[in-house]
Structures are given as C-alpha cells and as structure tokens.
Amino acid sequence: MNRAAQPIGVFDSGIGGLSVLQALRAELPCERFVYLADSGNAPYGDARGDAFVCARTHAITRYLREQHQIKALVVACNTATAAAIHEVRSSQPDLPAVGLEPALKPAAALSKTGRIGVIGTRGTLTSDKFSRLLASLAGQAQFVVQPCDGLARAIEHSAALPLPNDPCATETRALCARYISAMGPFGTEAGQIDTLVLGCTHYVFVADELRSLVGPQVRLIETGQAVARQTRRLLHKDSLLAPEDSATEATPFIRLLTTGAIEPLQAAAKRWLKLPPGCCGTVAIP
C-alpha cells in the first residue's frame, strides 16, 4: 500500500481519546484511522505508574504498526504522552508521533484575570513533563492545579449507561462538583479563575456539566483541535497526507478497537461520533 494511503493510529487509555479522533476527522476528512482504547487497563492517570504506561505505549505502538501499518501515531492521552512519547520518538524515528499536553500556553494567552484552572489525572499533573511546562510559564499566570481522581474512570463507565439517572452519571456529576468547588471562585473579576484547562481527553465529554458549574463566561480549553492541526503539519512535511480525491460520500475508513469490553466503546462511538457498532472490535495486546 502507498504509505500516504495508510491509516493514522490513535490511542488512549480508554474512550476519552475519541474527542481527539473527532477533531482529527474534522481536520483530516480524507484520512483513514485506527483507534485503540486500552480500556482493559484504564485509566492510566489515576493508578498506573510510568513504567506500566511506557510498556503499554510501546506494546500498542508495535501492534498498530505491525497489524495496521499506521503511517503516524497520535497519543491521545495526556498521561501516556508525559510518560512515554519521548521514548516512542527515540525508538521509532521514522514514525511521526503527536502527543498531548494540557493547553497551558494558550490559556495564559487568553486569560484576562491571569488566574487559570487546570484539571487532569494525577498521573498527568504530577509528571515531570507537566512540571517543566508549568515552570516554563512562571510569572505569566497563576495556575490552580486540581487532580481529579476517579473522574476519568466514571466518565469511561458512564459511556455505556447514558441515562441521566444511572449511577455512573450521578458519580460523574458529583466528582465534577467536588473538584470545581475545591479550586476557588470562577468568573471574570480580579482574583477569579476565568479559564479552565481540560487536561484529560475524557473531560471533553462532561464539558456541559463543567460549564454549568463554572458559569458561561469562563473559557474551557481542550487540545483536540491543536493536536489535529499539528498532525496535519507533520503529515504534510513528510508528504504523507492522503490525496484529497480519496474522499468519498461513504464514511471514511475508521476502525475502533478496545482491550476491554466492547459495549462501552460501541455506545461512546454512537453517542459522540455517530458511528455504527460494526466499526468496533476487541483485541488482546500482551
């Protein structure tokens, strides 16, 4: 197969990376995608150490290269990016790789009060990579950093039970309220947090809940669109963009895989990406 026609691999510890896939599809409508949710080991950020996350990242990258011949990799997981993307780039220099990091720089540029909230998994927010990013912005803004233990897991579980009164949705709302309350006042007045960075891909799917808690004037910033634009830039640089005439009226080739139960992925794909259950499958990756 012509390398430009090969798919882009996208992976996350679970279904949260579907928010990044959504942005990639909008930015790159002619591309083919293989998405892998490591839901059998999710979430990475709350309880998994760097060694485990690195091992999973390498194993999944090998699988996507060997079984799906991907031409580029998007690590749609803040925790895996922080722990392992430097190793992936070092060990596989011929594979364009795009990672995520909480959007602190754009937030600092946009904030009027100079006070910015950052929510993410504990694994992301305690990583060396995040510490370096935070230090690089010293003096540009005040960052209120809040680990949200359990929130990614609750969102993951609620995908298969979307009814408003299901236990996971109730838990998700309670966790959002707890962590937002712990951060201090939100608003546009001096001393208030006027910008909230969503430092986990899962959190995009509870943006409405977060918005109801922080108020309509507070900016919510996520990274999906920026990642999609960077992916386009790297593919263009390496002459790997799929030809525009490869687009058809049919749905572009998209394969969604999971190492966990298939039902949550199918429900999330239908709910958030309008994709049929037949796009989904299961896989075992030692």
Contact 8, 72 (CB under 8 A): yes
Identify the three-state secondary structure at position 280.
Answer: strand
Return the DSSP state at 72: E
Q: Which of 148, 168, 176, 200 is catalytic?
A: 200
The dihedral through the CA atoms of 172, 125, 41, 230 has a sign that is positive
Burial (CB count <10 Å: 0-12, 13-18, 19+), residue 139: exposed
Catalytic residue from among 77, 168, 279, 280: 77
* Annotation says 200 is catalytic: yes
Strands (E), 70-194: 72-75, 97-98, 115-120, 142-147
Sign of the four-CA dihedral 224, 225, 229, 230: negative
Cross-strand partners of 218: none
Q: Is 54 a catalytic residue?
A: no
**DSSP three-state, residue 220:** strand
DSSP for 73-90, written as a single string: EEE--HHHHHHHHHHHHH
Closest by CA to 101, choosing from 63, 75, 135, is 75
Residue 120 to residue 45: CA distance in whole angstroms: 8
Residue 8 to residues 4, 24, 82, 95, Cα–Cα distance (Å): 10, 10, 20, 10
Contact yes or no for 143/104 (Cβ under 8 A): yes
- Helix axis angle for 50-68 and 78-91, nearest 10°, is 60
Residues known to be catalytic: 77, 200
